[in-house]
A = this chain, B = another copy of it.
Amino acid sequence: MNERQKDILQAIINTYITTAEAVGSRTVAKKIGYILSPASVRNVMSDLEEMGYVRQPHTSAGRVPTDTGYRCYVDSLMDAYEPDPEEQHRIEQFYQAKIKQIEDFMGVSSRLLAILTRYTAIVQTPKMDTERIKRVELVPLSSEKVLVILVTNVGDVKKNVAVLPMEMTGLEIEQLARFLNDKLDTLSLADARSLLGSFLDSEDVLDERLASLALEILEEVLSEEKPRDVYLDGMENIFDQPEFRNVDLVRPVLRVLDEKVRLNTLIEWCVAESDPAEVCIRIGSENPLDDVRSCSIVASPYRIGGRTTGAVGVIGPTRMHYSRVISLVALIADKLSHVLTEMSGGE
């Protein structure tokens, strides 16, 4: 692709992103400052169509970018967007509001992202298995049921009702809890599990008995089977988009947004196999779920102390203001990484 073609593709996409209407040669000519006549522009546009970057909704309509067109745009054509200071200020202000818990923080982040981008924001809660165990509490609910509560260094809490393999007295449970706190303190969830496993072959009979009991009880809390919580905000922004005026087009998208499980897989798939330090972009047909083939997703993983532990993203039409969204997603992901790392720092 030569310079001229790039310029024109860029002009087409920039225009289309704001107008949502097929872009004609005259408009492009004006946009590039009349350095070419509409007729010449037409020739180039015809080339671009052959190359698959744009298409015509019908003969004698202007051109509309294809998914490949957008791909090329985000990879090399788009202008970088730097959030203006006023916006930065607004973000900081938003975060000033009383945020003490992880949950508040997730909530504020998704709200902020939705408001600023005017698309739909998705914020995944941190994967707990990179966090470290701070405390294990066992609260007996009845003679055969006990509530297991796991507190991590981030202040995250995970809980599960476990059925005891046998009746236990309050004292025995206390003993078990002491044993657990003793052994598991500051371990990650994965490490905790394997450590308990190793105790099963222990010399100490008491340890062995306690460990087998513990494994049974902690089974579910230690595993990552349950779908992670996901914060969603700005769902109704979808309706602002002219391409979603038709109910049948919104429907599949909403079906995905309605289900936390699918939302989780979606965003995980998006940031998978990509540089963890970068914002990743999945355009329309690049997405794995058929239901969101008409959408683009801009997502970024966030980290706790260097280790990726969750992701944050935005979903909107393929005709998305990519540069702006990318910079905002990056900003929020960064903020998340910072604050969570700080939270887990222990100070």
Interface set of A (CB-CB < 8 Å, partner B): 100-101, 134-135, 137, 139, 141-142, 145, 147, 149, 151, 153, 155, 157, 159-163, 232-236, 239, 244-248, 250-251, 254-255, 257-258, 346-347
Contacts and interface: CB of A to CB of B under 8 A. Distances in A.
B160 A100 contact: yes
A134 to B, nearest CB: 6
B139 A147 contact: no
Contacts of A159: 101, 157
Contacts of A149: 137, 149, 151, 157
25 contacts: A100-B145, A100-B163, A135-B137, A135-B139, A137-B149, A141-B153, A141-B346, A142-B347, A145-B155, A149-B149, A149-B151, A149-B157, A157-B157, A157-B159, A233-B258, A235-B258, A236-B251, A236-B255, A236-B258, A239-B248, A239-B250, A239-B254, A244-B247, A246-B247, A247-B250
Given A157-B157, A157-B159, A247-B239, A151 B134 contact: no
Nearest to A220: B100
A123 to B, nearest CB: 14
A159 B141 CA distance: 18
A160 B101 contact: yes
A251 B239 contact: yes
**7 tightest A-B CB contacts, nearest first:** A100-B161, A235-B258, A236-B255, A236-B254, A239-B251, A135-B139, A139-B151
B157 A161 contact: no
A161 B151 contact: no
Contacts of A139: 134-135, 151
